[in-house]
Amino acid sequence: MLASLGIGPVKLSPVAVLDALFGGGSEVQRIIVQDIRLPRAILGLAIGAILGLSGAALQGLLRNPLASPSLFGAPQAAAFGAVLVIALGGIDVRSFALPVAAIVAAFASVFVLLAIAGRNASLLILILAGLAISSLAGAATSLTMNLSRNPFAALEIAFWLLGSLEDRSFRHVMLALPFIIAGAAILMSRRHAFRALSLGEESAQSLGVDVGRLRLWAILGVALGVGGAVAVAGAIGFIGLVAPHLMRPLIGYDPARLMVPSALAGAALLLAADIAVRLIPSTSDIKVGVLTALIGVPFFLYLIVRERRALGGGIA
Amino acid sequence: MVGSVIAMPPVAWSHRLCKAIRACIRRSNGVFVVAFLILTFAAQAQAAGLPRVASINVCTDQLLMTLADPAQIVGLSPYARDAVRSWAAAEARTYRRLSGEAEDLLMLKPDVVVAGLYMKRATRQLLKRQGMRVAEFDIARSIDDVKEQIRRMGDLVGHPDRAETQVARLDAAIVRAKQAVARKPYRVLALSRRGWVSGDDSITSALLSITGLSNAAASLGSHSSGFATLEAIVADRPDFILISDGRDVADDEGSALLLHPALEKLYPPSRRLIIPEDLTVCGGPMLSDALDRLVAELKRVGG
């Protein structure tokens, strides 16, 4: 968190950063730290946390280690929702219409995915359906931007598909945070149900868990969190996949206990990625989603190799 | 035997038919030739022997509309109608909207296609291979470039007199602006979406120096145009920022940057010079309006 505040194109000493954070230093230093770097750090933490939490919740819900928002196409669908609202025109990108549209689209995508995959879907079906939805949403996002009258569509498409925390402000924080908190609250309130579910669906039902309703709640929580996050930062992928796996060896396989550490790991991951984006020398800004995908995809491939037997079973 | 009996009549019949068709073709050919000649004469009378020109670039669109007769304009690029970026957007609606690609140009067969030097490279090469005359206009980087382009387009459409009128209009605006020169050589940063900064080699920079202002891009470490980070802008802290839109609405994430609280704190409306994009995107006749606007904006902010 401090590192995120300390690093940027303008060099400031850690002491100056701390000073500016608490109202000291020159006006320029205060503006750089409070208005430019602080919202970025807060968003990085909040978005990373909700992605990690969503990943843990979905993995618990489906009892499936490959479940995560980005593999299900939820961020891509949310980005499409947001872009569609922009393309319809007359809307300020800093208005609440954006997160609402993103949330609706994210909800629809996860709902459709779980409906297609069914209750005891194999890994293969989930991944294939998720791939289809995320490709479709990505293509729809690009097409919507191309069809809009905006001549800068290419750059805007890159933002929505890859995600970035660059130059976000407190207006963006205010836009996303209420939804992220609501989503996180919903997911956290269901954590004991996820634990019951890890014993199997029948055992969970005998423990008084309504699996159908639990699903709806989980989808709603993920949609709120992911939608709110995507509306201000674009589709940042793979945090939700990686974070729970980093914590599982330390915490064990209890989905309820895994959720908070996953959120922390997600926050740390995204913040680290966002710092790295600023440190890598480049002529134009690197999108943070590029970095998370660079880390996330090899990890995903490793998981597939590990789960190969289960996948083989899915085919047969 | 049987075969020849059946075969004979059709051969004779088809021979007669062929004759008739040939006569038909010969006669209609004459009609076509006559019609073609009449049409050609009509067109020539209309344009008095002047070339018919199509444009596939928003900047050449506007030069063309200013200098050519309406009958000379075959069509304009799609962006000519964009009210935000095209100064002559309303007038552009009266002309054919081209796709900006080669196909419709090959069908319309204009005498000259005017285009930008950097955009649509494949289209320009294809047109040249098809034997079409393509006149390419570089991006204007100085007032001299602009005058040269106005004169070149004037010669191309056969109205050099109109070009001289436009150059004189621009010169008059420059004289007006120099009289109303800023009180101090304020440092102004011309800032567009995503932090794009206009460097020394831009029309915007030329406009600033005419009114006695200096371009702050140089102290951001770049003499040419490029992206500047928000932090670098805040740390450098130019006296004014020059933007194209005074509204408090962000149409996309790129333009949201200009409304970032960090910039709004240092640059309230009284620190923002606003010149609409359609006056500065291209070098052309609209620059005299841009200069007048810049002078008015300086007066507004008390510079």
Question: Is the pTM above the cut of 0.90?
Answer: no
Tell if the CB–CB gap between A152 and B254 is shorter than 8 Å: yes
Q: Which structural domain range is residue A294 located in?
A: 2-315
Alpha helix ranges (H) inside A118-151: 123-147
Residues in A touching B58 (Cβ below 8 Å): none
- Do the domains B182-282+292-300 and B46-138 match in fold? yes
Residue B247 DSSP class: -
Residues 89-128 of B with CB under 8 A from A: none
pLDDT in tens, B214-256: 999 887 766 778 888 888 899 889 999 999 988 878 777 778 8
A243, two tokens: 């974070």
The residue of chain A with its CA nearest to that of B257 is A167
Decide: residue B145, CB within 10 A, 0-12 exposed, 13-18 middle, 19+ buried: middle
Q: Count of CB atoms within 10 A of residue B279's CB?
A: 23
ipTM of this predicted complex? 0.78
User: CB contacts < 8 Å between A and B, how many?
Assistant: 72
Residue in A10, A155, A156 nearest the CB of B232: A10
Residues in A whose CB is inside 8 Å of some CB of B read: 8-10, 28, 31-32, 35-37, 86, 92-94, 149-152, 155-156, 159, 167, 169-171, 284-285
Residues of A with Cβ-Cβ distance to B79 under 8 angstroms: 151
Return the axis-axis angle of helices B203-210 and B287-300, rounded to nearest 10°.
50
The distance of B256 to chain A (nearest Cα, Å) reads 7
> A7 CA to chain B: closest CA distance, Å?
11
Whether the predicted pLDDT of A167 surpasses 70 = yes
Q: What is the DSSP string of B7-41?
A: HHHHHHHHHHHHHHHHHHHHHHHHHHHHHHHHHHH
Closest by CA to B296, choosing from B258, B261, B255, B246, is B246
User: Is the separation of the CB atoms in B164 and B154 below 8 Å?
Assistant: yes
Structural domain count of chain A: 1
**By the CB < 8 Å criterion, does B247 face chain A?**
no
Min Cα distance A56 → chain B (Å) is 30
Helix or strand (DSSP H, E) at B214: strand B214-215
Query: What pLDDT sits at residue A110?
Result: 87
Contact A123, A310 (CB under 8 A): yes
Mean pLDDT for the stretch of residues A219-232: 92
B243: which strand partners?
Answer: B274
**Higher per-residue pLDDT: A200 or A56:** A56
Q: Which of A9, A31, A93 sits opposite B250 (nearest CB)?
A: A93
Q: How far apart are CA B250 and CA A175, in angstroms?
A: 14
What's the 3-state SS for A233-275? HCCCCCHHHHHHHHHHHHHCCCHHHHHHHHHHHHHHHHHHHHH
B81 in contact with chain A, both atoms CB, cutoff 8 A: no
Q: With pLDDT > 90 as the criterion, what percentage of chain A qualifies?
A: 25
Least confident of A148-152, A163-167, A239-243, B259-263: A148-152
- CB distance B217 to B189 below 8 Å: yes
* Nearest CA-CA distance, residue A15 and chain B, Å: 17
Q: What is the CATH number of the domain that holds A114?
A: 1.10.3470.10
Q: What is the pLDDT of residues B75-120, one digit of tens each?
A: 999 888 888 888 888 889 899 998 878 888 888 999 999 999 888 8
Nearest 10 degrees: Cα torsion A19, A24, A25, A26: 150
Task: Assess whether pLDDT exceeds 60 at residue A313.
Answer: no
Cβ–Cβ contact B161 with A under 8 A? no
**Rounded percentage of chain A residues whose pLDDT exceeds 70:** 90
pLDDT (0 to 100) of residue A27: 82
Given an 8 Å threshold on Cβ–Cβ distance, is A92 in contact with B249? yes
CATH of B46-138, one of 3.30.300.180, 3.10.100.10, 3.40.50.1980, 3.40.50.300: 3.40.50.1980
Going residue by residue through chain B, which has 303 residues, state the pLDDT in tens, using 9 for 90 and above. Answer: 333 433 344 444 445 544 544 444 444 444 444 444 444 444 444 546 899 999 999 999 999 999 999 999 999 998 888 888 888 888 898 999 988 788 888 889 999 999 998 888 888 889 999 899 999 999 899 999 999 999 999 999 999 999 999 999 999 999 999 988 777 889 999 998 888 888 888 899 999 999 999 999 887 766 778 888 888 899 889 999 999 988 878 777 778 888 899 899 899 999 999 999 889 888 888 999 999 999 999 999 886
Range with the largest mean pLDDT of A195-209, A276-290, B227-241: B227-241
Which CATH entry fits the domain spanning B182-282+292-300: 3.50.30.60, 3.30.930.10, 3.40.50.1980, 2.60.40.420? 3.40.50.1980
